[in-house]
Structure 1
């Protein structure tokens, strides 16, 4: 009686084995690709079934006579690595995996499919060397490896791909010199982009032989040195040659495609001279007049700063004595207001408790130990939400152990007043220190919206982003409770804190680590946060420095929360301003300082921010570039030049064609040596890339962060 079940099992097992065996060799090779994919959020590979006889009906697969000739799965957020089995696809002609999340190295076996005509994998996270086996792809016409993390040299074997029409290796970490032979071998090349790498050495002379080139030939943002080969003028006259931001020197050849070009094609090369640049060539050898490879700048010392350098940090466009006094007075008034606020809370609590009035002269905060402290409530009839949390502290972190009662009993000090409210330093009885920001008093119908927004922000956890620990909402009061960051803002660290006599400038090594930390925080917001956020208001005042001067990006999402909370903010020059009646006294004492700070905001904005309503990540890239310039020069974002003013970016771009030694441009408190000289120049190049007028020409924060990390890990 047991035989039938046993036979049935064997029959089913055989059928399963036969179904697996039904898939041909190429299908098996492709199916291994699916097995190496760890994330497929769009279900792009959902119909890749091992039971099929061949893969020709699978998404992204094209066959010819049942042989796979194309694998095209772009922009599907696939995460994983490429298996070596793809080399089995002997008839493979086209690979398009652009804009996914693939990582790891390129398997050498892939290049055994030597019939490949196009290999397009830009916008992933591939790393490692470009395999020398790429030279085996004799039929290769399109090679696009851009926007990855490839490093090392470009293999010399690439020039064996003589049918190549498009070569884009931009935005990687490639180094060393370009292989000689481009012009001699790649006669069909129509597009060449090697920008945003770390290529060095001279530009190959024979590139001028590439008569089929079109559009822009881009060598920008590298470390190319030496003179510009006159042979580049032999390129078609309609070709735009971008040589900006390298270390090229000597006179610019005036022939063919190099003639009648604007200065933007050559800026950022300290040793270049002659038209279209304004600095004429001297009779001396290039670079003989200055041993520094830094681009020279004109003097822009603000009025009031002596030649002897005895002026204070505030002489760089800082605050007057009366302003500093006003700020100190404002702090004192703010502390008084805190006392009044807690007294008011106490009286409201005991007045409402059981409907009885209590003697206000007693120690109310010691008596009022209720988690649902009613000191901020307007009345039971005003139902904001059905959730009880509206009148309680809502933790956003499992480590939050304090409640509202403890918060209200704590010692509080005014940290500062911004255009959107007051921030307090609050020290609990157990010694835990927090930062509490008060928002608006209106917005009684928008609790659900506020809750959704604030809880999304509360999920963000990164070492370089200030953590939101908890929040409180009622009709009368909205509070945001953050981690307290102990060493103040980056603005104070660079320029000094108003009202203090002592000031210790940051050394270059510390500044470099701060730059790297900010970049990492932005990469997290842009690429790894749940919604790929944009900060939108990045500036040195919104970067706080913690233990060991670790930077923390603050005030993320604050503008949105203020709008919801009913603070009645208005937008002026793209930045929020806010006036609350109960803060008029404090504002009058600090109005001059607030106006000064508000005016600074505009100079961190990307040019397109004045025209486009929806912010983009490239806004943050621009703002980060301004911060880098501020940290290099030690100057405020607005620069006084004689009797006129200009923003720091305009000043850098205007003066890049002039000549001033490095010591006249960087922060006077820095004492650069030969090593930091090179690092400062590199960071300057990165900052200039970030502040490009065109958003499309700005790098992503991922590439900026990677470039800065290399400098910190491998200092000169």
Structure 2
């Protein structure tokens, strides 16, 4: 009996030792730790051979005691990846981005973990070629190897990864042709970035089959050659195609989305020609008589009859005839100019008098009697370069006329790089917001009319309504619904010169943010033209009677440009505060930062280049607004002698694992019971301010994320 008990005890003890020993996956992870040269932040400190449970180690996630995820981003790890990582057969996600890792990718990683779904290694120093065994990852959905030093051509087997949704290989040294079937096999691909490599050869024609693509498809800064495939225009219209700085040649196909791209999508390709480039396509070389795809561009006009071709048919016009035509043209131009100058001066005098008293100019009756004004029916015979003046309503509820507007009391609300803004109170008590634009642009009335009437059709509770406009040769006015509670910027920071103000509580801030998102979604998705605001910041988010947000200044920069003003898109619309910007408490008060520099900090990084506006610009701007709402700080902050953007500062706070209170607006300390909500919004903000536009969510995604927060106190 005693012997049996001893035997049982020995067996149970041996079993316990087996249970407590580290399994094979634990040893695979330890081999990774041993392959690292540096772990300065001690992220892998609890990776210990004496531990029996690797699932409790930092960065490791398990399911059914199997490692399914390994995520250690931005921890300054240096070293290589060992082949033993292939001993994690259940691994689904590997994220080692933004470290200092180097060396080659071990093929064993792909052969040993065929179920891998995401491989994110961007921002390291990996080199070498991509192993052909990557074709075994048939479940792979996200492959991001950007910002490394990979080289060689892409293995043909990569097209077997047919579930890929994200493929980012930018900023490496990849060479060679894109594999055959690149477009046909990636039907689920949503994001594609091949920029800043050395790919060459033709862009595959089957790329046009990538119907799920979104955002920017980036082929820029490579050595792609040959013609642009016509099928590239078949990509979704919302997709921005960047072909800049390659060796592409021939005419730009006029198919689908390629027809609406501006010239900035094609610059850096000297061999390209045709619309939208200002470079006509010359006749085909070698005597080929095939018709030019752009036969009516300058330099390619077809002959209408034999006499039109030099050297054929009748002789050209003689020298005397040419001189007579030139002299006649000069006399005619002079007469028209004199008539135009007379009419213009009389019309300006009249129109200027009618609105001078609104802007504080001297008023007099003599000018009214002497001036000459054209009514609409009288001016129709004039050149369209001189348009009639008048008040044009854009809203059916506009019941006032021009005389009522000009007789109203007007108060200056503010001045900016895009005109002066007035608060105008009519005799019947109706209050309007009136913006005065430039004094030129008389030759662009039709363009102004098209733009302003398109804006006037926008109707949404979170967008300021453009009710009417006024056009004359030397004055342009935009008449808006008046919004009484100022801007979000003033609500967050107070008015200059006022020491105290009533700060917004968290639930009001959250409600404002949701309203902004609704307004931008309307511009992006629901409005007829799928607009981009392009200049979203707290100064042009106005607050209504109940602090409901109303987005303003949409399309304003373009209207001001047409009207003859000299606006900058990111003009300084903020008055500099008298108190300095502060960071971190009384001991770290910075010097005053000129707010004229603030506007650029709301801009997405790519918006500072000459590219077609993208909706992701607005997403980035909204992310900066989110940070401003959470921190109560302007988008540029200063700690000691260091000046940085609020985005950089928050990233630093997160990396240093500082408590939320250090970044939170002091006025929100009383709302710390909502800490979970605030952190949730902060995470959304950090997603919005990603440097690469394709990594930012859409505004629809932002709305869904906000709705997913436990916001019981928000309407």
TM-score by structure 1 length?
Answer: 0.48
Decide which structure has the larger Cα Rg and report it.
2
TM-score by structure 2 length?
Answer: 0.48
